[in-house]
Amino acid sequence: MAETWRYRGQQIGSEQIAFLQEFIRTHPTSSRWKLSRQLCEALGWKQANGALRDVVCRGLLLMLERAGQIELPPVRRHIRGQRRTGRPRPEAVL
């Protein structure tokens, strides 16, 4: 029996994973951000206000990549606020 994944109430089966793998393969120069937006357009994933559900889509892609089901392109840029090293924490003021 094929493995089924669950994300935000949606079941993701082997057919959907195969579609995602093919979609990623046919868009080799797209960043993760662009892939999620293109995927939302292709699948019609939109919020009630018409905005793309790209954050939800990126979450799904990340979950499947971490599970070894798909391979995403490498991260191109890092958000500055997520840096864990660098400047020291300030001392507490008493």
| Nearest Cα to Cα of residue 71 among 34, 39, 23 | 23
How many Å apart are CA 9 and CA 77, to the nearest integer?
30
55: which residues sit within 8 A by CB, 6+ positions away? 36
- Does some domain include residue 91? no
What's the pLDDT band for 78 if we cut at 50, 70, 90?
A: low
Domain count, the chain: 1
Per-residue pLDDT, averaged over 63-87, amounts to 79
Q: Would residue 93 count as lying in a domain?
A: no
The pLDDT assigned to 10 comes to 82
Judge whether 84 lies within some domain. no
Q: Which domain holds residue 22?
A: 5-74
pLDDT band, very low/low/confident/very high, at 1 (cuts 50, 70, 90): very low
In a domain, 19, yes or no: yes
Q: Does a structural domain hold residue 86?
A: no
In this prediction, residue 6 carries a pLDDT of 86
The pTM for the full model equals 0.74
